[in-house]
């Protein structure tokens, strides 16, 4: 019984960290059926959370510098996103942040 409880907890939160050569620290965490990514570079932080339920999906995006929010937006989809869609959205967001961070 204890083994099952530990296994269930392990499936809820899986975290991976990636450090890019351009000083970006990227941490991706599985949250239920969705995912969360936090990207930091010095005093800058980018955040994306995708929550997936059986009825819908919610995508939250935030960007802040020195604690001041520059972007704070959300969107709701009227259906659950697939695992592939969640992964693609996270990958696209990370690539977008990497591109913008290099330009600045």
**Spatial separation of the C-alpha atoms in residues 71 and 68, rounded to whole Å:** 9
Q: pLDDT tens-digit profile of 45-84?
A: 999 999 999 999 999 999 999 999 999 999 999 999 999 9
More confident residue, 11 or 39: 39
Question: In this predicted structure, which of 8-12, 17-21, 24-28, 59-63 has the lowest mean pLDDT?
Answer: 8-12
More confident residue, 1 or 48: 48
Cα pseudo-dihedral 60, 33, 78, 84, rounded to 10: 90
Residues 6 or more apart whose CB falls under 8 angstroms from that of 18 comprise 25, 26, 27, 28
Burial 66-93 (b: 16+ CB within 10 A, else e): eeeeeeeeeeeeeebbeeeebeebbeeb
pLDDT for position 20: 47
pLDDT band at 23 (very low <50, low <70, confident <90, very high): confident
């Amino acid at each position: 019984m204890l083994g099952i409880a530990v296994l269930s907890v392990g499936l809820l939160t899986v975290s991976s960290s990636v450090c890019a050569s351009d000083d970006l620290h990227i941490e991706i965490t599985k949250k239920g059926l969705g995912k969360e990514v936090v990207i930091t570079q010095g005093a800058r932080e980018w955040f994306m959370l995708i929550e997936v339920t059986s009825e819908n999906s919610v995508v939250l995006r935030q960007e802040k510098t020195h604690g001041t929010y520059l972007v704070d937006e959300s969107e709701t989809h009227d259906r659950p996103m697939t695992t592939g869609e969640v992964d693609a959205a996270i990958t696209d967001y990370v690539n977008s942040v990497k591109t913008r961070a290099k330009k600045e």
